[in-house]
Amino acid sequence: MLKRIKWGIIGCGNVTEVKSGPAFNKVEGSQLQMVMRRDLEKAESYANRHGVPSFTNDADELINHPDINAVYIATPPGSHAEYAIKAMQAGKAVYVEKPMAATSEQALQMLNVSQQTGVPLFVAYYRRTLPGFLKVKELIESDAIGQTLYVNMRLIRPARPYEKESKEVVWRLQPEHSGGGIFYDLASHQLDFLDFLFGPIKTVFGVAANRGGYYEVEDTVSASMQFENGVVGNGIWSFVSHKEAEEDIIEIVGTRAKIVLSSFQHTPIELYKDGELIEYPYLNPENIQYNLITQVVRQLQGIGSCVSTGASAIRTNKVMQKIVQDFYAS
Protein backbone atom coordinates (compact mmCIF):
# COMPACT_ATOMS: atom_id res chain seq x y z
CA MET A 1 0.00 0.00 0.00
CA LEU A 2 1.09 3.57 -0.67
CA LYS A 3 1.32 6.15 2.10
CA ARG A 4 1.49 9.23 -0.15
CA ILE A 5 0.03 9.25 -3.65
CA LYS A 6 2.11 11.31 -6.07
CA TRP A 7 0.14 11.94 -9.24
CA GLY A 8 1.04 12.69 -12.80
CA ILE A 9 -1.58 13.88 -15.30
CA ILE A 10 -1.39 12.92 -18.96
CA GLY A 11 -3.49 15.37 -20.95
CA CYS A 12 -4.13 18.50 -18.87
CA GLY A 13 -6.97 19.94 -20.95
CA ASN A 14 -10.22 21.64 -19.94
CA VAL A 15 -11.60 18.76 -17.87
CA THR A 16 -8.63 19.05 -15.51
CA GLU A 17 -8.88 22.79 -14.89
CA VAL A 18 -11.66 22.67 -12.27
CA LYS A 19 -13.43 19.31 -12.39
CA SER A 20 -10.46 17.16 -11.41
CA GLY A 21 -6.96 18.68 -11.38
CA PRO A 22 -7.13 20.80 -8.20
CA ALA A 23 -8.70 17.92 -6.25
CA PHE A 24 -5.49 15.88 -6.31
CA ASN A 25 -3.87 18.41 -3.95
CA LYS A 26 -6.92 18.69 -1.70
CA VAL A 27 -7.16 15.05 -0.65
CA GLU A 28 -5.03 14.19 2.38
CA GLY A 29 -2.02 12.12 1.41
CA SER A 30 -2.27 13.11 -2.27
CA GLN A 31 -0.15 15.46 -4.36
CA LEU A 32 -0.12 16.48 -8.01
CA GLN A 33 3.55 16.20 -8.91
CA MET A 34 3.77 16.43 -12.71
CA VAL A 35 1.64 17.20 -15.78
CA MET A 36 2.06 16.30 -19.42
CA ARG A 37 0.67 17.90 -22.56
CA ARG A 38 1.96 17.57 -26.11
CA ASP A 39 2.23 21.36 -26.31
CA LEU A 40 5.05 22.09 -23.86
CA GLU A 41 4.06 25.75 -23.42
CA LYS A 42 0.52 24.74 -22.44
CA ALA A 43 1.90 22.15 -20.03
CA GLU A 44 4.11 24.79 -18.44
CA SER A 45 1.19 27.22 -18.22
CA TYR A 46 -0.95 24.61 -16.48
CA ALA A 47 1.84 23.76 -14.04
CA ASN A 48 2.40 27.42 -13.19
CA ARG A 49 -1.30 28.17 -12.71
CA HIS A 50 -1.92 25.14 -10.51
CA GLY A 51 1.36 25.05 -8.57
CA VAL A 52 2.56 21.75 -10.05
CA PRO A 53 6.31 21.15 -9.54
CA SER A 54 7.06 19.51 -12.92
CA PHE A 55 5.79 19.44 -16.48
CA THR A 56 6.67 17.69 -19.74
CA ASN A 57 5.45 16.99 -23.25
CA ASP A 58 6.59 13.36 -23.10
CA ALA A 59 4.09 10.85 -21.66
CA ASP A 60 6.76 8.16 -21.24
CA GLU A 61 8.86 10.55 -19.15
CA LEU A 62 5.92 11.09 -16.81
CA ILE A 63 4.97 7.40 -16.62
CA ASN A 64 8.52 6.35 -15.78
CA HIS A 65 9.35 9.24 -13.45
CA PRO A 66 10.50 7.91 -10.05
CA ASP A 67 8.48 10.53 -8.15
CA ILE A 68 5.18 9.41 -9.74
CA ASN A 69 3.27 6.41 -8.36
CA ALA A 70 -0.18 7.08 -9.85
CA VAL A 71 -1.27 8.40 -13.25
CA TYR A 72 -4.46 10.24 -14.20
CA ILE A 73 -5.18 9.93 -17.94
CA ALA A 74 -7.36 12.76 -19.28
CA THR A 75 -6.74 12.38 -23.00
CA PRO A 76 -9.46 11.44 -25.54
CA PRO A 77 -10.63 7.83 -25.03
CA GLY A 78 -8.85 6.51 -28.11
CA SER A 79 -5.48 6.83 -26.34
CA HIS A 80 -6.59 5.62 -22.89
CA ALA A 81 -5.55 2.02 -23.47
CA GLU A 82 -2.07 2.90 -24.71
CA TYR A 83 -1.23 5.15 -21.76
CA ALA A 84 -3.03 3.07 -19.12
CA ILE A 85 -1.30 -0.13 -20.15
CA LYS A 86 2.13 1.54 -20.15
CA ALA A 87 1.49 3.00 -16.70
CA MET A 88 0.23 -0.25 -15.20
CA GLN A 89 3.15 -2.19 -16.66
CA ALA A 90 5.39 0.38 -14.99
CA GLY A 91 3.65 -0.36 -11.68
CA LYS A 92 1.75 2.92 -11.52
CA ALA A 93 -1.91 2.96 -10.43
CA VAL A 94 -4.22 4.41 -13.09
CA TYR A 95 -7.23 6.71 -12.88
CA VAL A 96 -8.65 7.25 -16.36
CA GLU A 97 -11.30 9.58 -17.74
CA LYS A 98 -14.60 8.23 -19.00
CA PRO A 99 -15.58 6.44 -21.11
CA MET A 100 -12.96 3.87 -20.17
CA ALA A 101 -11.81 3.50 -23.80
CA ALA A 102 -12.97 4.09 -27.36
CA THR A 103 -13.98 0.44 -27.74
CA SER A 104 -14.86 -2.41 -25.42
CA GLU A 105 -11.93 -4.35 -26.90
CA GLN A 106 -9.51 -1.65 -25.76
CA ALA A 107 -11.21 -1.55 -22.36
CA LEU A 108 -10.77 -5.32 -22.04
CA GLN A 109 -7.07 -4.99 -22.81
CA MET A 110 -6.77 -2.44 -20.00
CA LEU A 111 -8.67 -4.63 -17.55
CA ASN A 112 -6.58 -7.68 -18.45
CA VAL A 113 -3.34 -5.82 -17.80
CA SER A 114 -4.67 -4.55 -14.47
CA GLN A 115 -5.54 -8.09 -13.43
CA GLN A 116 -2.25 -9.53 -14.69
CA THR A 117 -0.08 -6.91 -13.00
CA GLY A 118 -2.21 -6.44 -9.89
CA VAL A 119 -2.09 -2.67 -10.48
CA PRO A 120 -5.41 -0.91 -9.68
CA LEU A 121 -7.44 0.69 -12.48
CA PHE A 122 -10.12 3.29 -11.74
CA VAL A 123 -12.47 5.19 -14.08
CA ALA A 124 -13.83 8.72 -13.58
CA TYR A 125 -17.54 7.97 -13.30
CA TYR A 126 -17.83 10.43 -10.44
CA ARG A 127 -21.64 10.50 -10.28
CA ARG A 128 -21.31 7.34 -8.20
CA THR A 129 -19.98 9.57 -5.38
CA LEU A 130 -22.00 12.81 -5.66
CA PRO A 131 -24.56 13.49 -2.89
CA GLY A 132 -27.52 14.07 -5.22
CA PHE A 133 -27.01 10.83 -7.11
CA LEU A 134 -26.36 8.97 -3.87
CA LYS A 135 -29.69 10.30 -2.59
CA VAL A 136 -31.38 8.64 -5.57
CA LYS A 137 -29.70 5.35 -4.67
CA GLU A 138 -30.73 5.76 -1.02
CA LEU A 139 -34.37 6.42 -1.96
CA ILE A 140 -34.49 3.30 -4.11
CA GLU A 141 -32.74 1.04 -1.60
CA SER A 142 -34.89 2.32 1.30
CA ASP A 143 -38.02 1.29 -0.61
CA ALA A 144 -39.21 4.91 -0.85
CA ILE A 145 -40.67 4.29 -4.31
CA GLY A 146 -41.64 0.67 -3.75
CA GLN A 147 -40.48 -1.89 -6.27
CA THR A 148 -38.68 -0.19 -9.16
CA LEU A 149 -40.49 -0.90 -12.42
CA TYR A 150 -38.71 1.06 -15.13
CA VAL A 151 -36.39 3.94 -15.94
CA ASN A 152 -36.80 6.40 -18.81
CA MET A 153 -33.98 8.68 -20.05
CA ARG A 154 -34.19 11.61 -22.43
CA LEU A 155 -31.20 13.76 -23.33
CA ILE A 156 -32.08 16.16 -26.15
CA ARG A 157 -30.30 19.34 -27.26
CA PRO A 158 -29.48 21.36 -30.37
CA ALA A 159 -26.16 21.02 -32.16
CA ARG A 160 -23.51 23.39 -30.85
CA PRO A 161 -22.08 25.90 -33.35
CA TYR A 162 -18.63 24.29 -33.18
CA GLU A 163 -20.18 20.90 -33.95
CA LYS A 164 -21.83 22.01 -37.18
CA GLU A 165 -19.72 24.92 -38.40
CA SER A 166 -16.12 24.14 -37.45
CA LYS A 167 -13.73 23.48 -40.32
CA GLU A 168 -11.83 21.06 -38.11
CA VAL A 169 -13.83 18.12 -36.72
CA VAL A 170 -13.56 18.02 -32.92
CA TRP A 171 -12.27 14.80 -31.37
CA ARG A 172 -15.66 14.01 -29.79
CA LEU A 173 -17.00 13.51 -33.31
CA GLN A 174 -14.19 11.20 -34.44
CA PRO A 175 -14.88 7.54 -33.49
CA GLU A 176 -11.20 6.61 -33.52
CA HIS A 177 -10.68 9.13 -30.70
CA SER A 178 -14.04 9.11 -28.88
CA GLY A 179 -15.59 5.72 -29.66
CA GLY A 180 -18.57 7.29 -31.40
CA GLY A 181 -20.31 10.63 -31.34
CA ILE A 182 -21.53 12.80 -28.48
CA PHE A 183 -23.58 9.81 -27.32
CA TYR A 184 -20.35 8.14 -26.14
CA ASP A 185 -19.27 11.24 -24.26
CA LEU A 186 -22.54 11.98 -22.42
CA ALA A 187 -24.62 8.79 -22.33
CA SER A 188 -21.70 6.95 -20.75
CA HIS A 189 -22.29 8.92 -17.53
CA GLN A 190 -25.99 8.01 -17.53
CA LEU A 191 -25.56 4.34 -18.33
CA ASP A 192 -22.85 3.93 -15.71
CA PHE A 193 -25.05 5.59 -13.08
CA LEU A 194 -27.90 3.21 -13.89
CA ASP A 195 -25.43 0.32 -13.58
CA PHE A 196 -24.61 1.72 -10.14
CA LEU A 197 -28.30 1.84 -9.19
CA PHE A 198 -29.58 -1.43 -10.63
CA GLY A 199 -26.56 -3.56 -11.46
CA PRO A 200 -25.41 -4.74 -14.90
CA ILE A 201 -27.58 -4.47 -17.99
CA LYS A 202 -28.18 -8.01 -19.23
CA THR A 203 -30.04 -7.21 -22.48
CA VAL A 204 -29.91 -4.12 -24.68
CA PHE A 205 -31.10 -3.22 -28.16
CA GLY A 206 -30.39 0.03 -29.91
CA VAL A 207 -30.86 2.07 -33.06
CA ALA A 208 -28.55 4.92 -34.05
CA ALA A 209 -28.83 7.36 -36.93
CA ASN A 210 -27.41 10.56 -38.33
CA ARG A 211 -30.38 12.89 -38.83
CA GLY A 212 -28.78 16.32 -38.77
CA GLY A 213 -26.09 15.79 -41.38
CA TYR A 214 -23.63 18.13 -39.64
CA TYR A 215 -21.04 15.39 -39.16
CA GLU A 216 -20.60 11.70 -39.98
CA VAL A 217 -21.14 9.96 -36.63
CA GLU A 218 -24.49 9.20 -34.99
CA ASP A 219 -26.44 12.15 -33.62
CA THR A 220 -29.73 10.47 -32.63
CA VAL A 221 -29.93 7.22 -30.64
CA SER A 222 -32.68 5.10 -29.13
CA ALA A 223 -32.22 2.10 -26.81
CA SER A 224 -34.23 -0.40 -24.77
CA MET A 225 -32.67 -2.44 -22.01
CA GLN A 226 -33.25 -4.76 -19.06
CA PHE A 227 -31.08 -4.99 -15.97
CA GLU A 228 -30.16 -8.23 -14.23
CA ASN A 229 -32.50 -7.31 -11.35
CA GLY A 230 -35.47 -7.16 -13.74
CA VAL A 231 -35.83 -3.38 -14.08
CA VAL A 232 -36.52 -2.33 -17.67
CA GLY A 233 -35.44 0.91 -19.27
CA ASN A 234 -35.35 3.01 -22.38
CA GLY A 235 -33.49 6.06 -23.58
CA ILE A 236 -33.52 8.60 -26.36
CA TRP A 237 -30.58 10.84 -27.14
CA SER A 238 -30.50 13.52 -29.83
CA PHE A 239 -27.90 16.23 -30.29
CA VAL A 240 -29.36 18.03 -33.32
CA SER A 241 -32.85 18.93 -32.08
CA HIS A 242 -34.66 22.27 -32.01
CA LYS A 243 -34.10 24.39 -28.90
CA GLU A 244 -37.75 23.92 -27.87
CA ALA A 245 -37.21 20.15 -27.57
CA GLU A 246 -34.21 20.43 -25.24
CA GLU A 247 -34.50 18.07 -22.28
CA ASP A 248 -32.28 16.38 -19.69
CA ILE A 249 -34.32 13.99 -17.58
CA ILE A 250 -34.22 10.56 -15.98
CA GLU A 251 -37.48 9.21 -14.57
CA ILE A 252 -37.35 6.23 -12.22
CA VAL A 253 -40.83 4.81 -11.64
CA GLY A 254 -41.77 2.46 -8.84
CA THR A 255 -44.96 0.90 -7.55
CA ARG A 256 -45.47 3.70 -4.99
CA ALA A 257 -43.59 6.78 -6.22
CA LYS A 258 -41.46 8.37 -8.93
CA ILE A 259 -38.00 9.99 -8.89
CA VAL A 260 -37.08 12.64 -11.46
CA LEU A 261 -33.53 13.93 -11.90
CA SER A 262 -31.27 15.54 -14.46
CA SER A 263 -27.97 14.07 -15.56
CA PHE A 264 -26.11 17.29 -16.28
CA GLN A 265 -28.14 20.29 -15.07
CA HIS A 266 -27.86 19.29 -11.39
CA THR A 267 -31.26 20.71 -10.49
CA PRO A 268 -32.80 19.28 -7.29
CA ILE A 269 -33.76 15.60 -7.18
CA GLU A 270 -37.56 15.34 -7.20
CA LEU A 271 -39.54 12.64 -5.39
CA TYR A 272 -43.24 12.46 -6.31
CA LYS A 273 -45.08 10.47 -3.66
CA ASP A 274 -48.59 10.50 -2.17
CA GLY A 275 -49.53 13.65 -4.07
CA GLU A 276 -46.52 15.58 -2.74
CA LEU A 277 -43.24 16.76 -4.24
CA ILE A 278 -40.10 16.51 -2.11
CA GLU A 279 -36.87 18.05 -3.42
CA TYR A 280 -33.28 17.17 -2.52
CA PRO A 281 -30.31 19.38 -3.53
CA TYR A 282 -27.29 18.04 -5.40
CA LEU A 283 -24.65 19.60 -3.07
CA ASN A 284 -21.73 19.06 -5.45
CA PRO A 285 -18.16 19.67 -4.23
CA GLU A 286 -16.22 22.59 -5.75
CA ASN A 287 -14.18 20.14 -7.83
CA ILE A 288 -16.76 17.67 -9.00
CA GLN A 289 -14.39 14.69 -9.06
CA TYR A 290 -13.13 15.34 -5.51
CA ASN A 291 -15.25 12.64 -3.83
CA LEU A 292 -14.23 9.96 -6.32
CA ILE A 293 -10.56 10.97 -6.23
CA THR A 294 -10.74 10.70 -2.45
CA GLN A 295 -11.98 7.13 -2.80
CA VAL A 296 -9.18 6.31 -5.23
CA VAL A 297 -6.55 7.70 -2.86
CA ARG A 298 -8.03 5.88 0.13
CA GLN A 299 -8.01 2.54 -1.71
CA LEU A 300 -4.40 3.03 -2.79
CA GLN A 301 -3.56 3.78 0.85
CA GLY A 302 -5.31 0.59 1.92
CA ILE A 303 -7.94 2.36 4.05
CA GLY A 304 -10.99 2.32 1.77
CA SER A 305 -12.41 1.24 -1.56
CA CYS A 306 -13.50 2.92 -4.78
CA VAL A 307 -16.90 2.37 -6.41
CA SER A 308 -15.75 2.98 -10.00
CA THR A 309 -13.18 0.55 -11.37
CA GLY A 310 -12.21 -0.94 -14.69
CA ALA A 311 -14.35 -3.96 -13.87
CA SER A 312 -17.49 -1.84 -13.52
CA ALA A 313 -16.71 0.68 -16.26
CA ILE A 314 -16.12 -1.87 -19.00
CA ARG A 315 -19.79 -2.81 -18.79
CA THR A 316 -20.81 0.65 -20.00
CA ASN A 317 -18.42 0.43 -22.94
CA LYS A 318 -19.98 -2.89 -23.93
CA VAL A 319 -23.53 -1.51 -23.65
CA MET A 320 -22.79 1.58 -25.75
CA GLN A 321 -21.04 -0.48 -28.40
CA LYS A 322 -24.03 -2.81 -28.58
CA ILE A 323 -26.45 0.12 -28.98
CA VAL A 324 -24.64 1.72 -31.93
CA GLN A 325 -23.14 -1.37 -33.57
CA ASP A 326 -25.53 -1.51 -36.53
CA PHE A 327 -24.84 2.15 -37.40
CA TYR A 328 -21.11 1.49 -37.69
CA ALA A 329 -21.59 -1.86 -39.41
CA SER A 330 -23.57 -0.28 -42.25
* Model pLDDT for residues 17-26, shown as the tens digit of each residue: 999 999 999 9
Q: Where are the beta strands (DSSP E) in the chain?
A: 5-10, 30-36, 54-56, 70-73, 93-96, 121-123, 148-156, 201-209, 220-227, 232-238, 247-254, 257-261, 269-273, 276-280
Q: Work out the average pLDDT over 177-197.
A: 97
- On whether the CB atoms of residues 35 and 45 are closer than 8 A, the answer is no
- What pLDDT is recorded for position 167? 67
- What pLDDT is recorded for position 92? 98
Smallest Cα–Cα separation from 248: which of 195, 193, 186, 192? 186
The type of residue at 128 is: R
The type of residue at 152 is: N
CA distances from 102 to 111, 188, 217 (A): 14, 11, 14
CA 218 to chain centre: 19
What SS3 class is residue 126? helix
Indicate whether 10 pLDDT > 80.
Answer: yes
Residues of the chain with CATH 3.30.360.10: 131-283
Q: Which residues lie across from 73 on neighbouring strands?
A: 10, 96
Is the Cα dihedral 163, 164, 168, 171 positive or negative?
positive
Left (φ > 0), alpha (ψ -120 to 50) or beta: where does 73 sit?
beta
- On whether the CB atoms of residues 284 and 275 are closer than 8 A, the answer is no
Q: Report how far residue 10's alpha carbon sits from residue 280's, in angstroms, rounded to the nearest whole number.
A: 36
What SS3 class is residue 247? strand
Indicate whether 330 pLDDT > 80.
Answer: no
Count H helices and E strands in the chain, helices first.
Answer: 10, 14
Q: Work out the average pLDDT over 300-324.
A: 98
Q: Quickly state the pLDDT bin for 166 (edges 50, 70, 90).
A: confident
Q: Work out the average pLDDT over 74-101.
A: 98
CA distances from 261 to 70, 155, 253, 291 (A): 34, 12, 12, 20
Q: What is the DSSP letter of 147?
A: S
Q: Which helix (H) or strand (E) holds 62?
A: helix 59-63
Q: Quickly state the pLDDT bin for 164 (edges 50, 70, 90).
A: confident
Q: Work out the average pLDDT over 120-146.
A: 98
Q: Which helix (H) or strand (E) holds 319?
A: helix 310-329
Q: Quickly state the pLDDT bin for 74 (edges 50, 70, 90).
A: very high
Q: Give, in degrees to the nearest 5, the angle at Cα 308 between 63 and 77.
A: 50
Residues of the chain with CATH 3.40.50.720: 5-125+288-306
Could you say which architecture CATH assigns to the domain 131-283? 2-Layer Sandwich (3.30)
Q: Residues 5-125+288-306: name the CATH superfamily.
A: NAD(P)-binding Rossmann-like Domain (3.40.50.720)
- What pLDDT is recorded for position 261? 98
Sequence length of the chain is 330
Indicate whether 250 pLDDT > 80.
Answer: yes
CA distances from 177 to 106, 172, 174, 210 (A): 12, 7, 6, 18
